[in-house]
Amino acid sequence: MGLLRAACEVRGRVGVTGMEMYQVRYFLSVARTLNFTRAAGECDVAQPSLSRAIKQLEAELGGDLFRRERPQAILTELGQRMLPILTRCNESANNATALAAAVKRGEAGALRVALSSTIDLGMLLPHVHKLGKIFDGLTLVVRRGSAAETLELLKSGDAEIAIAGAKNEEEQSLESWPLFDEGFLLSCSRTHRLANRASVVLADLHSERLVLARHGEHADVLAALLHKEEVQLERCHEAFSDEDLNKLVADGAGIAIVPRSLPPLDAAASIPIEGLDLRRTVYLLGIAGRPRTAAASTFINFLRAADWRPQAN
């Protein structure tokens, strides 16, 4: 496939090194499986050939990438530092190849995205518009569900990427990239007694009827926190979608604690809550090692490069 000229940060220095793409793929496979034999099978190559390629890569980079402790292969410090860099190299090469092929064929296809119920589609639309300028005729397929359901959509192939306010730490096949971290606000109707407050504390909520977002990844943690703070939950309403929650709040049926990225309603006020120890990280998710369409790969790059600071507070 020719030489890949890749800028690599090694031990604090930036240099340029030549390496073959198959060496990068072999390295990533060993790093993922921690076993040379399994990696060789995964790459459909004889183990001696894979081991030789890794040795050549180590010579190129000036140090061992793995400690050979049979049957395991353990990443060295250099290997650990090279892992994210070579992962990006491999992704960039795959994305460039897929994009060039798609443009050459004039293909657009569909971008299949799974969103958890607490993620606002509006945050993604500017990036979808930008993607449409590259892939003429691109269609968007959006599936909704809980964080667990978005993962199932990924695993089944019904979605290429997912965005959720949580991830499964134990799912080995999952790739995840944090997009932004955010806190929570109080949402209440404009006529509510707290609507004109600059901020509130949890003690202000003791006598209030709440609307709990049961569809949210944070629902159980929030309920436990409120119970600990002696906020009454016996009379609370329960909503299973942002739309229903917003309607209940706007109608004055109750107040809600919602993520900052939830679009504010004209009929509702959003108020900071002092002393609320609750935050969430919104993740971009994919399946490791699974080929993606050029549109999905480009969209991932857009989202990872985006400035999410308006949400991250």
Cα 29 to chain centroid distance, Å, stands at: 22
pLDDT above 70 covers a percentage of the chain that reads 88
Q: What pLDDT band is residue 110 in, cutting at 50, 70 and 90?
A: confident
- Rounded to 5 degrees, what are φ and ψ at 9? -90, 110
Q: Which stretches within the chain are classed as H helix?
A: 21-33, 36-43, 47-61, 77-105, 125-134, 147-156, 219-228, 242-250, 294-305
10: in domain: yes
206: in domain: yes
Look at the chain and report how many structural domains it folds into. Answer: 3
Q: Are 198 and 296 in contact (CB under 8 A)?
A: no
Whether residues 24 and 155 share a domain: the answer is: no
Strands 174-182 and 280-287: antiparallel
Whether residues 194 and 65 share a domain: the answer is: no
Q: Are 176 and 269 in contact (CB under 8 A)?
A: no
pLDDT above 90 covers a percentage of the chain that reads 61
Q: Are 176 and 283 in contact (CB under 8 A)?
A: yes
141: in domain: yes
Tokens of 187: 């949402």
Q: Are 45 and 37 in contact (CB under 8 A)?
A: no
Whether residues 174 and 261 share a domain: the answer is: no
Q: Which of 102, 131, 147 is the last residue of a domain?
A: 102
Q: Three-state SS for 162?
A: strand
Whether residues 55 and 137 share a domain: the answer is: no
The kind and range of the H/E element at 19 are strand 13-20
Q: Which of 55, 77, 102 is the last residue of a domain?
A: 102
Give mean pLDDT, residues 173-180.
Answer: 90
Strands 200-201 and 268-274: parallel
Tokens of 83: 């892992």
d(CA 268, CA 188): 5
Over residues 23-64, the pLDDT tens digits come to 999 999 999 999 999 999 999 999 999 999 999 999 999 999
Give mean pLDDT, residues 2-14.
Answer: 36
Maximum separation of any 2 CA atoms in the chain, in Å: 73
Higher pLDDT: 209 or 69? It is 209
Q: What is the pLDDT of residue 13?
A: 32
31-41 burial: b if 16+ Cβ within 10 Å, else e: bbbebbebbbe
Residue-wise DSSP of 226-282: HHHTT---TT-EEESSHHHHHHHHHTTS-BEEEETTSPPPTTEEEEEEET----EEE
d(CA 288, CA 285): 9
Residue-range definition of the domain harbouring residue 19: 3-102
Instruction: Say if residue 168's pLDDT is above 90.
Output: no
Instruction: Say if residue 234's pLDDT is above 70.
Output: yes
Cα 161 to chain centroid distance, Å, stands at: 9
Whether residues 247 and 188 share a domain: the answer is: yes
- Rounded to 5 degrees, what are φ and ψ at 289? 80, -5
Q: Can you name the residues that pair with 259 across neighbouring β-strands?
A: 184
- Report angle CA 78, 289, 99 to the nearest 5 degrees: 100
d(CA 248, CA 250): 6
Whether residues 173 and 285 share a domain: the answer is: yes
Q: What pLDDT band is residue 12 in, cutting at 50, 70 and 90?
A: very low
Q: What pLDDT band is residue 242 in, cutting at 50, 70 and 90?
A: very high
Whether residues 210 and 237 share a domain: the answer is: yes
Over residues 112-161, the pLDDT tens digits come to 999 999 999 999 999 999 998 888 788 899 999 988 899 899 989 899 99
Angstrom distances, CA of residue 191 to CA of 186, 219, 265, 280: 14, 26, 13, 29
Q: Are 215 and 117 in contact (CB under 8 A)?
A: yes
Query: The domain spanning residue 245 has which CATH number?
Result: 3.40.190.10
- Rounded to 5 degrees, what are φ and ψ at 264? -70, 150
Whether residues 81 and 10 share a domain: the answer is: yes
Query: The domain spanning residue 41 has which CATH number?
Result: 1.10.10.10
